[in-house]
Structure 1
Amino acid sequence: MLFAKERIKTMKLTLIRHGQTDLNKENRIQGGGIDQPLNETGIMQAQQAAKNFDISGYDLVYASPLKRARKTAEIFVHDEKPIHFDERLKEMDFGEWDTLRVIDLYKKYPKGFTSDGYIANGYLRYAPSGESFEDVAQRASEFVDELIDKYPDKNVLVVCHGTLIKTLVAHYFANGNLDIFRQVENCAISKFVFEENRRQVQMYNHVIG
């Protein structure tokens, strides 16, 4: 007797970084404690990307509650889907470094950065009230694990933040090694597949327009 093969449940996850803010434009640190809105360029970035993005195939939409992510999500969704907000999707909190210029911090605290000029865990000695990458990975992966558990066969869109996305991807696909992945661009799209015994990066840091 032949038995029908059980269908493999596949959750598809799309992560989108928010559009540009004035702090992004000035290359200043912008963490979870800073609630900057999109600037004019950021709104245009989101609108252009959304023109080439089909929201109809998504079952669920989540976003960080911060203004820059919220507005980006609204532009992509076009009022076609409800947006669910989750505090765990906020950007990494950089503590005392928030709003400061990256170039100034790099010159003053080189041990707080990687050789490529990205913030490293060593920054906490200079900004002790900030979060570690491990903290961010824990709260963000807890959110994704819940999605996998609740919606194992759904297509989910999440609009959030650059460092959070990079940290999440490193957690699931590189044992936490952040050096493998580039920083995520404004309004860039990353896509992933989660199955019971398989995870796959389908797209990373792709800007559509």
Structure 2
Amino acid sequence: MKIFLVRHGKIKWLKGKAYIGQIDLPLSQEGIIQSQELRKTFAEISLTKVYTSPLKRCVQTLDILLAKRNVPTVLVDALKEINMGDWDGRTIDEIKINHPEDYQKRGRLINTFVPPGGESFEALTKRVMPEFNKMIKENYQGAILISTHAGVIRVILGEVMGLSINELFKWKLLYGTVFELDYDERNDKWVVVNR
């Protein structure tokens, strides 16, 4: 079995570095170009099924990546980005200035911290992993692609590689990044390749 985790292309956002959770933003022109590059990457790869977050940036990325290929596609709410609640769409500087204690707390307790009205990475893991495991069971002999977000990719990689969210935050997950997960049956483990 093979799974491709694809982070959507760059979003249309002009307000500086911010917390972007479930705010529904489209791709920027750069994001469209990144998605066209992804189409080239996947041109010769046969896919059994495709799953995507229903947020615009993931659906657009997938539409461009697949072009007119006829691959069964499923929208999955559980693949939405982490819910940043009241912080969604607010700049990091704004949170640092207006909520310095919460900003510091999130840095220290990234796995369990919940922004007001949002969710923690722990909760995100509980939301994502049952769906991910279901996808594996449904497509055990195939190759699937998941178009999703950085937070979702981090929790999946953390679970399959046995890494903490703190360790995964040391990795850069650029827009348009692809991780390939290959299941090694003999050793009963996943092998992860950053394409």
TM-score tier (shorter): 0.7 to 0.9
- Determine whether 1:138 maps to 2:126: yes
- Determine whether 1:179 maps to 2:177: no
- Determine whether 1:103 maps to 2:93: yes
Give the alignment's Cα RMSD to 1 decimal.
2.1
Q: Which has the larger radius of gyration?
A: 1
How many residue pairs match? The answer is 187
1:4 corresponding residue in structure 2: none
TM-score by length of structure 2 reads 0.86
What does 1:81-100 align with in structure 2 at a 5 Å threshold?
81-100=71-90
1:26 corresponding residue in structure 2: 16
Contact 2:53 2:148 in 1 (8 A): yes
Q: Which structure 2 residue ranges, 5 or more long, are not aligned?
A: none
CA distance in 1, matches of 2:106, 2:127: 22
Contact 2:110 2:166 in 1 (8 A): no
Per-residue Cα deviation, 1:84-122 (whole angstroms, up to 9, x for no partner): 1111111110111100112332452222225xxxx8246
Per-residue Cα deviation, 1:163-201 (whole angstroms, up to 9, x for no partner): 1101111122125x0122214110000011235662223
Contact 1:174 1:180 in 2 (8 A): no
CA distance in 2, matches of 1:145, 1:24: 36
Identical columns (%): 27
- Determine whether 1:51 maps to 2:45: no
CA distance in 2, matches of 1:111, 1:191: 33
CA distance in 1, matches of 2:134, 2:179: 19
Aligned counterpart in structure 1 of residue 55 of structure 2, from 46, 53, 66: 66
